[in-house]
């Protein structure tokens, strides 16, 4: 009995549509389309509710699932990972996960060029 009540409550919560942006609490959400880009790869354009103030966008569960599937189809799902910096002599070393190395075609002994880009590090080969 109690469980049914909880499920019903959750369903009601889901069906509530935010009119005011829950991120900035200032803008209004408007229906629109948004190009989804993950790791610089275009995943396509999807319907979204977009805040007219902070431009944060919200997609429904079905759309989010489609975007996730597109990322998997393009082989970029799971390429972003946390990695720890270690010491190597006077320098610092970063371990590049195998999946990411394979995706970018990085191999041991390869000559690469590393440089800053704002507060990020770019590694080119």
48: number of Cβ within 10 Å: 21
Residues of this chain, 26-85, that bind Zn ion according to CB under 5 A: 27, 51, 53-54, 56
Applying CB under 5 A, does 97 fall inside the site for Zn ion? no
Q: Which is nearer to Zn ion, 53 or 99 (CB)?
A: 53
Q: Which is nearer to Zn ion, 19 or 85 (CB)?
A: 19
C-alpha to C-alpha distances, 4 to 1, 7, 8, 12, 16, nearest whole angstrom: 5, 5, 6, 12, 19
Distance CA 23, CA 7 (A): 26
Question: Least distance in Å: CB of 53 to Zn ion?
Answer: 5
Question: Least distance in Å: CB of 30 to Zn ion?
Answer: 11
Question: Least distance in Å: CB of 17 to Zn ion?
Answer: 15
Please answer whether residues 47 and 29 qualify as being in contact, where contact means their C-beta atoms are separated by less than 8 angstroms.
Answer: no
Report the sign of the C-alpha dihedral through residues 68, 70, 73, 77, in that order.
Answer: negative
Applying CB under 5 A, does 123 fall inside the site for Zn ion? no
Query: What burial class does residue 50 get, using C-beta atoms within 10 Å of its C-beta: 0-12 exposed, 13-18 middle, 19+ buried?
Result: buried
Question: Least distance in Å: CB of 18 to Zn ion?
Answer: 10
Q: Using CB under 5 A, which of 9, 14, 24, 86 touches Zn ion?
A: 24
Binding site for Zn ion (CB under 5 A): 21, 23-24, 27, 51, 53-54, 56
């Amino acid at each position: 009995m109690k469980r049914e009540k909880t499920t019903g409550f959750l369903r009601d919560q889901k069906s509530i549509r935010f009119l005011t942006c829950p991120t900035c609490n200032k803008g209004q959400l408007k229906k629109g389309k948004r190009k989804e880009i993950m790791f610089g790869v275009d995943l396509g354009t999807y319907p979204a509710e977009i805040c007219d103030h902070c431009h944060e966008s919200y997609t429904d569960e079905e759309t989010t699932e489609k975007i996730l599937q597109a990322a998997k189809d393009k082989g970029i799902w799971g390429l972003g990972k946390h990695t720890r910096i270690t010491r190597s002599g006077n320098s610092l070393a970063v371990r590049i996960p195998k999946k990411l190395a394979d995706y970018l075609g990085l191999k041991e002994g390869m000559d690469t060029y590393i440089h800053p880009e704002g507060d990020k590090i770019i590694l080119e080969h």
